[in-house]
Structure 1
Amino acid sequence: MGERIDRLLVDLTLAEKVALMGGRDLWSVQPVDRLGIPSLKVTDGPNGARGTGMLGTGTPSVCIPCGTALGATWNPELVEELGGVLAAETRARGCHVLLAPTVNLHRTPLGGRNFECMSEDPFLTGRIAVGFIRGVQAGGVGTTVKHFVANDSEFERTTISSEVDERTLREVSMRPFQMAVAEGGAWGVMASYNRVNGTYAAENRWMLDTVLRGEWSFDGIVVSDWFGTRSTGPSVTAGLDLEMPGPPHWYGERLVEAVEAGEVPELVLDRAVRRLLLLAERTRAFEEPHLREEEELNELAHRLLARRAAAEAMVLLKNDRLLPLAVDRLSNLAVIGPNAAAAMIMGGGSSALVAQHETSPLDALVDRLGERLEIRYEPGVVTDRSAQPLGGRTTERSDGQRGFDVVYFDSTDWTGPEVGTSTFRDGRILHFDRVPGVSDLRSFSFRATTTFTPAVDGNHALTLVQAGRARLLVDGQVVVDGIAQPMPLGEEFFGMGSAEADAAVPMVAGRPVEVTVEWTSEGAAFISGAKVGVRTPSPDDLMDRAVAAATEADVVVLVVGTNHDWETEGRDRESMDLPGDQPELIRRVCAANSDTVVVVNAGSVVTSDWADVAPAVLQTWFGGQEMADALVDVLVGDDEPSGRLPTTVPHRLQDTPAFLHYPGENGRVVYGEGLFTGYRWYDARDLPVAFPFGHGLGYTEFSWGEPSLGEVPTVADLESGATLMVTVPVTNVGDRAGSEVVQCYVAPLAPRLTRPVRELQGFAKVRLEPGESADVVVGLGHRAFAYWDPGDPGYSQRSSRSPVAAGQGVASRDEPGWHIDPGSCELHIGLSSADIRAIIPLDLQ
C-alpha cells in the first residue's frame, strides 16, 4: 500500500495535489484521472446511507434507530452489527465513506440535534461510537466522526465560539472522539462549524494537529463540515485535509497560489494528500471506484436487525404491572395520540432519508392485532409545527402507489418535450445535484401531480414552500402563486426555502381532487424544488373524543412525542415540554382509563411531570423504520424493552447544567458547567430528577451476587496499560428471558482537584434466560481513574514564603498532564447513576 502512495506523491503535480483536497460536487472528491486516482464518494449519515439525496429525498435506505436510541441500547456489539448493515448500504449507494457517527454530547435538552447524538455521558458515547466505527469499517467503508468539537447545539452554530476550559475539553467534549480514534480506529474526523475558544475548528491547529494527530496518533483525514471551511493557509496548516463540498472556495486555486507564494509549504499538502490516498486504499476505491448508479438493498436480515435494535433501545421508564399487555384478556383497544398514526422514525436535517418503509404505530397494531381486537383511533391533539408534507394513504400516483408523479422539462415554463420522470413518496419534491433528463440544473422546470382524497369534510389548508418559484393548483385552479407573488425566505431547507404560504380549500370527505405543483428554476440556488403540505381540519372536540375512546377501551396505547419539525438540524427546541396540549391529553386519558401505556416517541428527553398519573411509560426515541413493529413486539411481550437511559430526564429545564449559559450571547457560549454535565451535575447539587441516567426497567427480575475485584494494579501499572477487572455474578430469577446492564461508576473520595461525585467508567450488558446465571465482567483502565490537571505554571515561584498569612491548599503542579491520585476511591456498581447496588472501596498505591 505504501509503495503506491509514495509513487503517486512523486508523480502528482501541485495542481493535482490541490485537486484531491477539494470536492468535485456535493458528495464526491475530485479525481486525478491521469494517474488513475478515483473520486472518493461520501454519503450521510448517522441513521442510514442516504446517497445523493438530502432532506428526506434519495434512494430508499435502511433507516436504523437514531443516535440517542443507539446510546439507549448500551450495547456496543449490537451497534457494531448495525455498522455492518450501514457499510453494505453505503456501498450500495456507490460510496466509500459514511459521514457518521455523531458523538457530540447532550449538553442541554434543547439541542436540536440531540436525537443524532448518543448520550450526555462521554464514556457511553465513546463506547457506542467505537462499536459503530468498527462495524462500518470492517465492511470496507470509512467513517468520519463528527463534529469535532463542542458543537452541542444549533444556535448560531456556524459562527459561535464555544468557550470551554481545557480540562472540560479533554475529559468531556473530546473524550468520545479520542475513543473513536484510539479504540475504534476511525479513518476520518469531521471538523465542526463553530469556533472553539475563538478559533474556527477547521483551522484550530491545537485541536487538529497537537491533540488529534500528535497526542492521539490519528492517521486519517480531517474533512470540513459542508461549507465549513473559513480560510486557506490557516486551515491547511492546521490540518484540514479536505474542503467540502465542491467546487472548493478556499482551497483550489487559492491554495495553489498560497503554495506558489511560499505562504504554505508543499510538504503540508503532501501530508494531506498522503492521508487522502490512504483513505482511498483503505476503502478499496482504487479497485472499486463505484462508477455506477445507486442501488437499493432489500435484505430481510438487515430489517430484522433494525427491528431488534429498535426494541433494545426502548426504555421502560415506569410499569405498574401493565406491560406486557395480556392480549388474550382484551376485547378492544384505544390507540390515541398525535404520533400514533404517523411514522415519526427519524429527526430532521442532513440525517433524514427515504426509509425503505414507514409504518405508524397504529398501522402496526392493526396489522398484528386487528383480527383479534376492536381498535379505535383518535389523535387527541394536533401538534404540527408546520404543515406536514402531503402524502401517505390519502395520495395516489398514476401507478396506484402513494405520492406524486413528476415530469421534467428542459425549459423554465413547462414547454417542450418531457425529458425525464420520477416519483416521490410525498410532497417534499427536492433536487440537489441531479435531475432526471435535465441538461442544465440552472434552467429547468417540473410538474408534480397527485390525487388527494380527503378523509374529512371542511377547509383544508394546502401549503407551499419553494426553493425557486412555484405555484400550487387544485383541479387546475391556482390556489397559491409563488411565481406571481414570491414568498420571503423562511426556515425550511436550511434557510434556503421560502416562508410557507397557504390557501384554504373546501373539500368533501372521500371526493378526490387533483393537486399539482408547477415549479421553475428561477431564483433557485443549491436546492431546487418545493414542499406541498396540508393541514387537515380538526374538530374542536378532538381531546374529548380521545377521552371518550379511552373510557370505553380495555387498554389505551397513547403515543405522544415530537417530530422532525420539532427536532431538527439547524434549529434548537424552544421548550423541553411536549408540543401542544399533549401533557393535558395524557392526564385526561390516564384519568379516564387506569390501564394506559404512554409511549414517548421523541428523539430527546421531554418534561415528564405527568408521569405520576401514567401507569406505564415507554420511551421509543426515533426508532428507525422498524420502530412500530418493534413497539408492538414490546407491548405484547414478544420482545422486552432492554434499553437504559443514555441521558437524565430532569424535572425542569431550570435544573439542567447549561441552563444559565445556554444558548450564548455576543457570539460566545460559555460551558460554565465545566465537568458537571448530565448526571454529574444533578449528583453534585443533589438535585432530584424525574428519571436518572442509566435507568430502565424490564419484564423479568435479576439477583446480583457480591462483586469481586481481580488483582488491583498500582498507579504505575495503570499508566502502563494494566486493567482492573470487576466481576458481578448476575442471575435471572424471573420467568422470562431478559437483559441486565451492570454499570460501574468511579467515585474519588479526596480528589486533589474538583471532580464529579461519580463518573461512569465501565458497563456490560448481558441477556439471560430464566434461571440462567453469568459472571458479568467490567474492565477499568487508566482513564477510568485519571483526570487532566491543567497545572499552574509559575506556582513554585509564587509560593515562596511570605510574612502575610494566607490559607493553603494542595500544592499545584507546574505542568499540565494526566494524573491518577494514589489513595482511596470507591467503585459504585449499580443499575443507574442513582440506584447503586454495591460500593467497593479501593486503595490505589
Structure 2
Amino acid sequence: MTLDEKLDAMTLAEQVSLLSGASFWRTAAIDRLGIPAVKMTDGPNGARGEDFSGGVRSAAYPVAIALAATFDPDLVHEIGADLAREARSKGARILLGPTVNMHRNPLNGRNFECFSEDPVLASAMARAYVRGVQSQGVAATIKHFIGNECEHERRTTSSEINEKTLREIYFPPFEAAVKEAGVACVMTAYNALNGIHTSENPWLLDTVLRREWGFEGVVMSDWTATHSTAAALLAGLDLEMPGPGKFRGDMLVEAVENGDVPREAVRRAARRVLRLIERVGAKTTGDLETERAEDRPETRALIRRAGAEAAVLLKNDNNLLPLAGPTPRRIAVIGPNAARAVMFGGGSAQINAHYAISPLEGIRAAFPDATVDYALGCPGDRYLPLIDAPVDIAFFAGTDFGGPPVLTKTGARSEFRWFGPVAPEVDHRAFSARLSARYEAQETGWHEIGLMSAGTSRLAIDGEPILEAWESWTRGFSYFGHGCAERRGRVHLEAGKRYEISVDYACGDGITTTLKAVRFGLRAPSSLGSIEDAVALARKADAAVVVAGLNDDWETEAEDRESLNLPPAQNALIEAVAAANRSTIVVMQSGAPVTMPWAAKVPAILQLWYPGQECGNALADILTGKAEPGGRLPQSFPAEDEDYGALTRRPEAHGKVVYAEGTAIGYRGFAARGTRPQFPFGHGLGYARIEYVDARLVFGEEQLTVEVDLLNRSERKGSEVAQIYLISETGAPLRLVAFAKTVLAPMEKRSIRLAIPERRLCGWDPDKGRWAREPTPFTLAIGPSSADLRIRKTITEDRNSRLPDFG
C-alpha cells in the first residue's frame, strides 16, 4: 500500500494515534494495516536504549563540544555513522541528537551537549553528524528548536530573540541540517520564543521551517513539552512525546469532530509520521525488545582517536608536552578526576558505558617503566560518592509498602533512576520500594552520608534512622528539577564491621510521576584527600599530572551552574602542586569554560573535555606523543565570571530571557567589548611549529575562495586549523566565515583552499526581510584563532578585486 492508501484505510482515531507516542520511547503501531512502531533512543554521545539508567551497556563517545573542538567534519561524520550502528543495536531507528543550541550562556548546564558559540562551526558539525547517522538508515533528531540556551526555568521562560539574531546566530545549524543534510526529525524546545511556546509557534514551525527551508520530516515535542491540542497541531507539531499523549488521542479526535482542527491537518501530520516509518525501514517483524551490547574494537579505536583529536592544548611552555624526551622515572597523578573516568555530563546524555579507562589507568599503561604515584588531593564531587556495591531493591504496589513485593532486583551501585515506566510489574504512577545494601567499613572514623530523591525517601543504618527526605521533602534542582537537595549527615563507623544500610522510597503522591530516582552516598574520612600528601608526591616526581574539573553532577540537564569557578579546593590544589613541581601539567575536564586563576603559574594546560570511555587512553596518547592534541576551542574561555555580565543571570520563573546582546555572543562579544578572554575561540597548540606564509583571493561565480600557504617548520607531523574571519567597517562584530583542518608532514609547505559561500558574506536585513551583502570595503583576516590573525586581505570594489555578483 502507498502512504495515501494507508491513510485512506485508517479511521480518524487511527490517524490520530500516530501523532503521539505509544510509550516513552516508541511511536504507535497499527497492526491491522501492518504499520509498525518505531523506537527512539537518547542521546547525542551514545545510544542508551529504553532503560534510563543501568540498562544494556553502550559505547560512550566524546560529547558534542569535544566533537566540535576537532574542527573535523569528516571525523564527526564517522562518529555519527558509528552512533547509528549503536542505535540499531538497541532496536532503535531514531536517535535523539544532535543538540545544536548555541553557547550563549557559559553556565548552561547542557553546554557540553552543544557544539559551539559560532554558527559556522556549529552548522558544519550538525551537517556532518546528521549525514553520518542517517547514512546507516537511522533518523537523526536535531534539537532544541529554538532558543534553549539556558536550563534554569527552561519550561517556564520565553527566549526573546529578534529576527536578525535568530537568522544569523541561532537558526544556521538547524537550517544546515534541514537543507544540506536532510535531517529526518526536529525537536522543539521547552521554552517559548517571543512569548509563544515553540511547540505551537506557527511562524517558527510553518513559515520558517517548512515553507522557507522546505522541511518535510517530523516535528516532535521535547518530552512533556506539548501545551495544546489544536494550536500545536495547526502550527506544525506532528508528534507529541512521550506517550500516552496528554493533548492528542480523544482530545484531538473531539477537536476534529467539533471543527476546531481540519481533518486534513491530521492527515498531513500522520502522513509525515508514516513517511518517517518508511524512511527508517521499520517493519512489523522488527524486534524492539532485544537490546544488545556490542563492544566493537573499531568503535574503541574511533573513540580513542577522537578523544585525542578533540583535546585542546591551551598552554605548553618550553615544550613540556609531549613527555617524549627522557622518559620520566616517576610521575605523580593527582586530582579528583585522576582515578575516575569522567566521560560525559548529566541528564539525557548519560549511558551505561561498556567500560571506562581512567587517566590513572591510561598513564600507568603508557609508562610501564615509570613509577606512577596517585593522590586524590581534594574531592571534586557535588554529591557524596555512590557506593559501588550490589544494592537490592524490592518494589511494592502502592506507596505504603503493603503486601509482598511485586518485583525484586539488584543494582550495581546505590542509585536508581526511572524515566517513565519502571518495569511491567510496577505501576510507576504509585509505588514504593525498599533498598538494602551491606557496607563493610574500611576505616574507623566519622563518615559523611547523603540521601537524595525524586519522590520521598528515608535512610537507616542497622535500623536506626539517620536521614529523611520524607516529611521535609521539597523540590530542588536535582534530577531534572524533580528531586530534592541532598540531605547529609555524619555517622561513626568501625573498620572491618559490616553495616546494613536501608532506604525506603515512595513515589505517587503528586510530587513526581515522570522522573523517579533515589540515591545514597557515603564518604570515608580518607576520601577527602590531602593537598599536603599531593604536594609530597609532586616534589618527588619528574612530572606531575593534575586531572581536575567538573563532572556529571556539576554539568547536567535542567540545571545551570552557579559560577565559572572550579569546585572548592581545586584551585588551591593546582597552585600547590605547581609550586612543588616545575613540570606540572593540568588536565582540565569540563564541558564548558572554567576560570583558571593559576594559568600563569602552570607550564602546560590541556583541555580534555568529556572524551568518552577511552578517556585515560586518549590522554596517555597525548602525553606520550603517540597522538597530537588536535583540538581548538569551539568556545571562548573567559578570565573571570564578570566577563559575561547579564548573559549568565538566572531568569525568574515565567520570566523573559532577553537576548539583548544580539549577535555579539562568544568571541564576537569579546571583540565588541574590546576585551580579551583568557583563551580565545579557535585557540589550540599542537606539537608542530606551523607558519602562515601567504594568502590569495580567488573570485568565482558562486563563492569566494581563499588560498592559504602553510609551512611546517618542525621535525614532526602536525595539524593546523586555518580560520578566516570577516572584519566589517560597519561596526558589526568580526565573524568566522571559513575554516579548514589539515595535516602537514615535517618541513612540508602546503596550500589549502577555503571556500566562502556568498551567504557568509551577508547579514540579515530586518527592514527588507532578506539577506544583504556586506558593504565594501571589508577585511578577511586569516590565522590560527580569533585573537591571532596573521594575514589580512581587504576587499574593495575597484576593478582589480571586485566581488562577483552572486545574484
- Aligned pairs for 1:59-70 (under 5 A) are 59-70=56-67
1:495 pairs with 2:469: no
Q: Which residue of 2 aligns with 1:237?
A: 234
User: 1:788 is matched with which residue: 754, 760, 764?
Assistant: 764
Mapped to 2, the partners of 1:532 and 1:657 lie a distance apart of 37
AA aligned to 1:16 is: E
Q: Which residue of 1 aligns with 2:42?
A: 44
- Aligned pairs for 1:278-297 (under 5 A) are 278-286=275-283, 289-297=286-294
- CA shift, 1:412, in A, is 6.9
1:553 pairs with 2:541: yes
1:465 pairs with 2:465: no
Mapped to 2, the partners of 1:458 and 1:257 lie a distance apart of 65
Q: Which residue of 2 aligns with 1:536?
A: 524
- CA shift, 1:220, in A, is 0.8
Cα–Cα, structure 1 residues 195 and 485, in superposed 2: closer, same or farther, change >3 Å?
A: closer
- CA shift, 1:12, in A, is 1.6
User: 1:259 is matched with which residue: 248, 256, 259?
Assistant: 256
Q: Which residue of 1 aligns with 2:787?
A: 834
AA aligned to 1:844 is: L
1:633 pairs with 2:613: no
Cα–Cα, structure 1 residues 331 and 486, in superposed 2: closer, same or farther, change >3 Å?
A: same
Which stretch of the first structure deviates more once superposed, 410-419 or 581-590?
410-419
* CA deviation profile, 1:393-449 (whole Å, cap 9, x unmatched): xx3x4xxxxxx3545566877787776554433211223445557254456555545
AA aligned to 2:412 is: R
- CA shift, 1:691, in A, is 0.8
- Aligned pairs for 1:753-832 (under 5 A) are 755-756=732-733, 758-791=734-767, 815-821=768-774, 823-832=776-785
AA aligned to 2:727 is: A
- CA shift, 1:158, in A, is 0.7
Cα–Cα, structure 1 residues 286 and 660, in superposed 2: closer, same or farther, change >3 Å?
A: closer
Q: Which residue of 1 aligns with 2:378?
A: 381
- CA shift, 1:746, in A, is 2.1
- CA shift, 1:268, in A, is 1.3
Cα–Cα, structure 1 residues 509 and 626, in superposed 2: closer, same or farther, change >3 Å?
A: farther
Cα–Cα, structure 1 residues 22 and 326, in superposed 2: closer, same or farther, change >3 Å?
A: same
* CA deviation profile, 1:608-647 (whole Å, cap 9, x unmatched): 2210001100001111111121011111211111100001
SS in 1 for 2:661: coil
SS in 1 for 2:752: strand
- CA shift, 1:195, in A, is 1.0
Q: Say whether the 8 Å CA contact 2:407–2:426 is kept in structure 1.
A: no
Aligned residues: 795
- CA shift, 1:42, in A, is 0.9
* CA deviation profile, 1:262-309 (whole Å, cap 9, x unmatched): 111111112111111111111111366333321111111111101111
- CA shift, 1:196, in A, is 0.8
Q: Which residue of 2 aligns with 1:73?
A: 70
Cα–Cα, structure 1 residues 443 and 584, in superposed 2: closer, same or farther, change >3 Å?
A: closer
Q: Which residue of 1 aligns with 2:267?
A: 270
- CA shift, 1:663, in A, is 3.9
Cα–Cα, structure 1 residues 364 and 417, in superposed 2: closer, same or farther, change >3 Å?
A: farther
Mapped to 1, the partners of 2:528 and 2:294 lie a distance apart of 45
Q: Taking every aligned residue pair, what percent have the same amino acid on both sides?
A: 43
1:506 pairs with 2:464: no
Q: Say whether the 8 Å CA contact 1:705–1:729 is kept in structure 2.
A: yes
Mapped to 1, the partners of 2:206 and 2:587 lie a distance apart of 46
AA aligned to 2:621 is: D
Cα–Cα, structure 1 residues 288 and 87, in superposed 2: closer, same or farther, change >3 Å?
A: farther
Mapped to 2, the partners of 1:13 and 1:540 lie a distance apart of 64
SS in 2 for 1:126: helix
Given the two structures, how large is their TM-score scaled by the length of structure 1? 0.89
Q: Say whether the 8 Å CA contact 2:379–2:528 is kept in structure 1.
A: no
- CA shift, 1:389, in A, is 2.1
Q: Say whether the 8 Å CA contact 1:823–1:844 is kept in structure 2.
A: no
Given the two structures, how large is their TM-score scaled by the length of structure 2? 0.93
Mapped to 1, the partners of 2:403 and 2:234 lie a distance apart of 52
Cα–Cα, structure 1 residues 23 and 538, in superposed 2: closer, same or farther, change >3 Å?
A: same
Q: Which residue of 2 aligns with 1:738?
A: 718
- Aligned pairs for 1:704-715 (under 5 A) are 704-710=692-698, 712-713=699-700
* CA deviation profile, 1:57-92 (whole Å, cap 9, x unmatched): 422111111111111111111011111111011111
Cα–Cα, structure 1 residues 637 and 494, in superposed 2: closer, same or farther, change >3 Å?
A: same
Mapped to 1, the partners of 2:499 and 2:653 lie a distance apart of 50
SS in 2 for 1:333: strand
- CA shift, 1:182, in A, is 1.1
AA aligned to 1:820 is: R
User: 1:142 is matched with which residue: 139, 142, 147?
Assistant: 139
Q: Which residue of 2 aligns with 1:110?
A: 107
SS in 1 for 2:478: coil
Q: Say whether the 8 Å CA contact 1:658–1:672 is kept in structure 2.
A: no
User: 2:704 is matched with which residue: 696, 701, 724?
Assistant: 724
Q: Say whether the 8 Å CA contact 2:418–2:515 is kept in structure 1.
A: yes
SS in 2 for 1:707: strand
User: 1:11 is matched with which residue: 9, 12, 34?
Assistant: 9
Q: Say whether the 8 Å CA contact 1:236–1:268 is kept in structure 2.
A: yes
Q: Say whether the 8 Å CA contact 1:607–1:651 is kept in structure 2.
A: yes
Q: Say whether the 8 Å CA contact 2:158–2:654 is kept in structure 1.
A: no
Q: Which residue of 1 aligns with 2:304?
A: 307
Cα–Cα, structure 1 residues 117 and 768, in superposed 2: closer, same or farther, change >3 Å?
A: same
AA aligned to 1:426 is: R
AA aligned to 1:157 is: R
Q: Structure 1: 5+ residue runs without aligned partners?
A: 398-403, 792-814
User: 2:178 is matched with which residue: 181, 184, 202?
Assistant: 181
Cα–Cα, structure 1 residues 423 and 60, in superposed 2: closer, same or farther, change >3 Å?
A: farther
Mapped to 2, the partners of 1:118 and 1:588 lie a distance apart of 34
AA aligned to 1:692 is: P
User: 1:667 is matched with which residue: 655, 679, 682?
Assistant: 655
Q: Which residue of 1 aligns with 2:160?
A: 163
- CA shift, 1:703, in A, is 3.2
Mapped to 2, the partners of 1:678 and 1:199 lie a distance apart of 27
Mapped to 1, the partners of 2:541 and 2:246 lie a distance apart of 62
1:569 pairs with 2:545: no
Mapped to 2, the partners of 1:662 and 1:417 lie a distance apart of 47
Which stretch of the first structure deviates more once superposed, 684-693 or 508-517?
508-517
Q: Which residue of 1 aligns with 2:803?
A: 844
Cα–Cα, structure 1 residues 735 and 268, in superposed 2: closer, same or farther, change >3 Å?
A: same
Which stretch of the first structure deviates more once superposed, 549-558 or 569-578?
549-558
Mapped to 1, the partners of 2:201 and 2:470 lie a distance apart of 47
SS in 1 for 2:492: strand
Mapped to 2, the partners of 1:653 and 1:220 lie a distance apart of 41
Q: Structure 2: 5+ residue runs without aligned partners?
A: 796-801
Which stretch of the first structure deviates more once superposed, 547-556 or 113-122?
547-556
AA aligned to 1:755 is: A
Mapped to 1, the partners of 2:609 and 2:656 lie a distance apart of 31
SS in 2 for 1:706: strand
* CA deviation profile, 1:461-482 (whole Å, cap 9, x unmatched): 22222344545454x4344465
- Aligned pairs for 1:387-536 (under 5 A) are 387-391=384-388, 395=389, 397=390, 404-406=391-393, 422-435=409-422, 438=425, 440-442=427-429, 446-474=433-461, 476-480=462-466, 482=468, 487-509=473-495, 513-519=499-505, 523=509, 525-536=513-524
Which stretch of the first structure deviates more once superposed, 358-367 or 483-492?
483-492
* CA deviation profile, 1:624-678 (whole Å, cap 9, x unmatched): 1111210111112111111000011112222227548664686111111101111
* CA deviation profile, 1:329-377 (whole Å, cap 9, x unmatched): 32211111122122221111121121111232123223433x4222222
* CA deviation profile, 1:687-731 (whole Å, cap 9, x unmatched): 122111000001112233422233x14xxx4xxxx1222222334
AA aligned to 1:819 is: A
